[in-house]
Structure 1
């Protein structure tokens, strides 16, 4: 199969089987090691780009096809989807090549009778691609944002209610962009400038992070796992918003820290760098396979002060009562702050899911708070934007469990930081959306 065919089957797997986009791509690449670096990048762009824009793409198809998307066979529909994505968003690819590939793939799969249909729809779209009429923004603003940025309407309604229309639009616009790769420098092994020089010599483009002094953005990465700097454990991949959480936590060399829901481990690793491999970090997760992945990374990074524990965040372990100076409670959430990386979230999460997640989040808080010493710090965080998973949980927790919010001292102009919590929107710094609250145990 060529790259476009692989992308079509990946989309079908994600959309029909509700698989995760990142896991689907990882599986495809691990099973097909002969796929070139260039094709890996192209397949990733086709799959994730199409997912980010799938409602808009279907809107375009339905504007030019007598047969609507809901009645199309999955294979034909997803051939059209990746083709429209290329025509609309990948201007360097000739339209003729897109149409020819789509027609050839249709014939290859024995849908000869539909090859003319595919060709006609795509060429008609290509001729009119710059004149697509969207819903009227003034008269139907929710429908406009939901269509243009590919969201379910209930998500847009929640964003507008919480942030107002203009800020909601900025969030949608930022989430439509492909994320940069952000890395956290392992300062136990190398300085940031040394790593920067090394990565440039390996052929990568390197930029400074715009939130954390310990972060770099890298592009032209090819396969990161093949980088000598990666193999030597000089960095791990981590978004800057997560790095900011660790900097707010402010780990000290003699601290005992518990990372309650630690996978994939990035926050624990960064704590270890700051602590210079001293003190003690207990990194926990409920899934054994995730613990194994963290273990592999600890070995690569040469970390000495992390103990891995297979433990359930919703269960209180009496033997750990009041052992921690600080704990990180980064709970499972709806993920609407990371749709740049996981665009399938926009179509798979529901309002009922959020209600269920709030219950789990509160169970984890109830089980975790006793690990903190009196006067100790608890950081609560999510990678979502919605109040019921964020500040509403924090207020409920403070009211019932003897904690108070503490001012967050960071050199960033972010609303509410002096109240003890911040919401990082994707539109602020081109990072993941993130919520962080800093809490102190008072009794």
Structure 2
């Protein structure tokens, strides 16, 4: 078995390895604590939401439990309870969205249904064939039109529930007018009880420990940068391990990348709910949530590129350990630069401060591109025999792709800072110093 002798002129290399080990161990401990705290926070939020739903149901049930309220609401009080059960959601924005959609759909559907029912009674008479023909025609016209509007993407995205409630309410009101009198009074009573249920839901959701979708969307977007930065560091560490180390240690985890890759539907829902929420904290009515979604798209592309490295890590035809060690130093410098940049971008979003990529980050990425170009030259690649050249080229190509994606992220984050009018970060004073950040990242 061949052995490689490495001369160590002084103890700097050993100290550096010990420092890296301590740094990774501390990172593991901090990540573990963060996950425990996050799980505890999520469980607390779920418990608070459950209690809030119970409070809302008790309040709306008073329409049945108290005789004075029951005499005014009557059997229609059931509609208030149904409204709370259907409308109350985890996030305040979701409750507002469903509540407003339900209210508008109920008002429009009930109004048009009453008009159609009264028109049918006046023209065709109660219980006559003409009345049934008019009602059936109106049901067909409004039902087909509402269903067509539900398939329009812009309406389906934000108002699908309201159109569905409109269709349901219209049919209930206009069809009940065939056999019943006093349709207007019936619609008024049901609308009032639905409004009571909506009021109780909004009161409980917004005033008792509100759960804001905007906060969740903001923090989840910022945390993705840290997750991808850790994944890049883990991939590079795994790739440059020697064979004996790989056998004794677990392989790099791509779980965080997969979570980012599959976050599109969640981001769309949170962005939609955030648009409905009132002004609170640092988020106004015109906060650029669309830009958050654009940043999420680039993050998912970056996550897909990182997952592509899985083939380089697990392929039996990967380059030899000696060849990989020859490019270890420049590749680790590139990975450290990418991780530092991602963390800076994530911190700027989390703290809602501009990171000035034109002044600092983009030039650093430009130098990173030049470093990648020097990792393996075409002349050196031509001397590599077999499939090792292709394997090492694939790895370097994926590094280049990650640099390009991080550059796109820097531009998107800068545009977000301009649209949201984030204040500038301090370029001096210790918090945001280029030299100290780079030195910390590379040590």
TM-score, normalised relative to structure 2: 0.25
More helix by share: 2
TM-score, normalised relative to structure 1: 0.25
Higher relative contact order (CA 8 A, sep 6+): 2
